[in-house]
A and B are shown apart, each in its own frame.
Chain A
Amino acid sequence: MLGIRIKSGIAFTGAIRNAVQIFCVVLGVACFPHLVAFSQPKGDSFALNLPPGVLEPIIPEDNPLTKGKVDLGKKLFFDKRLSVDDTVSCATCHDPEKGFADGKVIAVGIQDRKGTRNSPTVLNAAFFDTQFWDGRAITLEEQAKQPVINPKEMGMSSHSALVEKISNIPDYKTSFKAVLAADQITIDHIAGAIASFERTLITFNAPFDRFIAGEKGAMSESAQRGWQLFQGKARCITCHEFNRSYPFFTDNKFHNIGVAMKGKDFESLARKAASRGANPSVLAQEEGSAELGRYVVTKEPKDIGAFKTSGLRNIALTAPFLHDGSEPTLESVVEFYNKGGIPNPNLDGGIRPLGLSEEEKNDLVAFMESLTSDDLPRLVSGHNP
């Protein structure tokens, strides 16, 4: 491990990341400062500005980060023309002013069509192993391709329809040619640019980060107690994993905590979903099967009703919470867990009633509020379409 020199923009395997994570946790200090992505920009290659010791996100080798792509991607991200009736852009549901989510219970697309899921934030999504609440896309590129053709979101009839529309816009035609040397624009070019932009939407520098770095006064006493509870009595850390090399508060796994389990016949829904062999992205949009969660991807009965562990950075900005937006505030989320979720045959083995006092619940909320990054205003102000 010590012999490896990491240059920016190069894929970092998960196995090594795991090993380094353990190593860093054991040492308890930010280690390997040399691994930070501060290489000299070569031409227009773009370096992500990461704190020392934080492992780089995996970037597909065929879509290295360049300034040109980031700028082009940003333009696309805010462009409502990516929807069939020019009313919805990525930023509609992933609004910089709203923590790159939308403040709604369930996402609303073109013509007021309601989807099936609460919009997750784009912030730090570059670091997650999978995208969507059911993990049905792995890379940001793959994710970006789905909302554009989702009839309840942006409603384009197909990827080629989108490509044709974009190709007929002279500005884009020029930009794609200049940035990507693309005479013929493809959906991969479009998704690749959007993904590149999203990779810059990363945040650190929260009061919590300063506290961990040694500044004891950075978090309130209540938040500090909350952090202890988070790692102990409240049992959050078991799924909302944290360590300094991967400080995003998610284990990237899928857990059934009982959300929306009431009154649904999951057995027959699951059987129907499995027998249809339908595409996960289709199943995830249908009202009944959307609640099956991870099951629509893996078809493993143990995954019925299991959803991806969210990250917690900037969580205070992205109410309402959970995959169906059913919990309006951080307080109500804490209470949901305190009660032990909603019992159902598939409830995750890590969920149980917690017996938290009122003060303890408030401490947990204070802790979560300390995860809001000071970087955000810079990110937001840069994006006024």
Chain B
Amino acid sequence: MSTKKEGKHKQSLYPSSAGISRREFLKTALATGVLATGAGCAIRVSTSGAQQVEIKQGTNGFTIAYISDSHLLARGKEHRFAKALIKAVEDVNNLKPQPDFVLYGGDLAQLGLREELSLGKDIIAELKPKLYMMVGEHDWYFDMGEVWKEFFGKPTYSFDHKGVHFIVLNSVVVEDYWSEAKMTPMERMLFMAQLDNPKGRPFTVGEEQRKWLSDDLSAVSKDTPIVIFSHSPLYKYYKAWNFWTDDAEDVQKLLAPFKTVTVIHGHTHQVLTNKVGNIAFHGMLSTAWPWPYAPEGIPKLTMQMDRPDPFNQFDGMGWGIIDTLPNGHVNKTYKLWERNPMFVSHEKVSTGGGFVSGHSY
């Protein structure tokens, strides 16, 4: 491509072309030629501060941040999982302007022990914005949530913020397989901590909580935008790894009448995008380790993050930003620590248009 054409093309993709390496640019150009199905660039990778995620259209958009899946061990603040969580907290505290609030996405502890949760509680106490907590299976299955409830309150709740109705679920409810097998609490926890799920008991929201959800939603008008925080994805991605919510269809049915629904979920430790009916789904990054993509079931809309470098203790991990637009839909930014951020706009989720794979560094 001649430098003149390069320049024009660059401009259409990136308003500011400063700092894009030739290798990155050509990779993008090649990808554009092959993958783009619609006009315009779907995935915009932020390369300059001027494009940093704040998209304020009108006065009612707002920004929140999340940190998720820290899997802390009770080995003090020098352990790399603790260091990573501290790094995320500092990154969020350094955001200017500050987000409206922060969501913690679950799996704060690795084995649900009091010492682990306590360490986590100390670290996230340093967050300056308001904090909302969500539980993951690693927090819960040692003592069935006793310490979690003591430290952080009820696992299931809802609240309203600037016209958006937020719901926080405990979507890692699993049918009891441990009582019959007379498992000790630690045995149960270690079992739940595995990626592979040999007993085949998938995560659910469960009947009781679905009823709660139905009641909660009955007070919300169909036009009110809804954002659901859930640890498991609330759809069916890969059962063998419990990247799965078994009663997903029932939950989605409860949400179907609503005009604008977004699910933000943890557990999968990767960049993940999906749409089912009227619902957009966005995964959250982990601060502790990345998961590979499952052998099957990856949602079509997902632009995958590159395979992380195992030599690098922060590659493939990070935290993120959720920009809620005035119409209640969500733009998502994955703040990867060792790469350029990845940006998934609502527009592209809804049109399913071609994604351009931007340069990752």
Contact = CB atoms under 8 A, between A and B. Distances in A.
Cβ-closest 10 pairs across A and B:
A299-B49, A349-B314, A297-B19, A14-B23, A129-B21, A349-B312, A238-B311, A350-B312, A274-B49, A14-B26
A129 B48 contact: no
Contact of B315 (A14, A298, A301, A349): A349
Interface in B7-45: 18-27, 29-31
Contacts of B3: 60-62
B340 interface: yes
A138 interface: yes
A333 B4 CA distance: 41
Contact of A302 (B2, B23, B338): B338
A30 interface: no
B4 A301 contact: no
Size bracket of the B interface? 35 or more
26 contacts: A13-B29, A14-B22, A15-B27, A15-B30, A15-B31, A17-B23, A18-B23, A58-B22, A61-B2, A129-B23, A129-B24, A130-B21, A135-B19, A135-B21, A294-B19, A298-B47, A298-B340, A299-B52, A300-B46, A301-B91, A301-B94, A302-B335, A345-B90, A350-B309, A350-B311, A350-B315
B1 interface: yes
Interface residues of A, number: 38
B23 A252 contact: yes
B199 interface: no
A273 to B, nearest CB: 9
Given A238-B311, A349-B313, A350-B315, 8 more contacts: A18-B27, A58-B26, A135-B21, A138-B22, A300-B46, A345-B87, A348-B314, A349-B314
Interface in B62-116: 87, 90-91, 94, 96
A62 B4 contact: yes
B5 to A, nearest CB: 9
Contacts of A271: 96
A254 B361 contact: yes
A139 B6 CA distance: 13
A129 B361 CA distance: 12
A228 B338 CA distance: 26
A300 B313 contact: no
A267 B1 contact: no
A298 B361 CA distance: 10
A253 interface: yes
A188 to B, nearest CB: 10
A351 to B, nearest CB: 9
Nearest to A134: B19
Contacts of B337: 302, 349
Given A61-B3, A299-B48, A300-B341, A350 B24 contact: no
Q: Which of A15, A280, A349 gathers most chain B CB within 10 Å? A: A349
Interface string A235-258: 100100000000000001110000
A277 B21 contact: no
Contacts of B219: none
Contacts of B90: 345
B19 A136 contact: yes
Given A62-B2, A277-B50, A302-B338, A238 B22 contact: no
Contacts of B314: 348-349
Contacts of B311: 235, 238, 350
Residues of A contacting B: mostly: loop
Contacts of B24: 14, 129
B50 A299 contact: yes
A254 B338 CA distance: 9
Contacts of A7: none
Interface of B: 1-4, 18-27, 29-31, 46-50, 52, 87, 90-91, 94, 96, 309, 311-315, 335, 337-338, 340-341, 361
A300 to B, nearest CB: 7
Contacts of A129: 21-24
Nearest to B96: A271
Contacts of A254: 361
Nearest to A255: B338
Interface in A331-385: 345, 348-350, 352
Contacts of B31: 15
Q: Which of B3, B22, B31, B361 gathers most chain A CB within 10 Å? A: B22
B196 to A, nearest CB: 27
A136 B49 contact: no
B50 A61 contact: no
Contacts of B91: 301
A318 B21 CA distance: 25
A252 B21 contact: yes
A280 B19 contact: yes
Contacts of A274: 49
B27 A300 contact: no
Contacts of B23: 14, 17-18, 129, 252
A298 B338 contact: no
Contacts of A298: 19, 47-49, 340
Contacts of B18: 136, 280, 297
Nearest to B30: A15
A219 B314 CA distance: 35
Q: Which of B1, B26, B27, B337 gathers most chain A CB within 10 Å? A: B26
Contacts of B361: 253-254
Interface in A86-132: 129-130
A18 B340 CA distance: 19
Interface string A56-86: 0010111000000000000000000000000
A238 B46 CA distance: 25
A15 to B, nearest CB: 4
B27 A352 contact: no
Contacts of B29: 13
Contact of B26 (A13, A235, A267, A348): A13
Contacts of B315: 349-350
Interface string A276-294: 0100100000000000001
A181 to B, nearest CB: 18
Nearest to B46: A300
Nearest to B361: A253
B54 to A, nearest CB: 13
Contacts of B50: 277, 299
Contacts of A136: 18-19
A19 B312 CA distance: 23
B312 A348 contact: yes
B22 to A, nearest CB: 5
A350 B21 contact: no
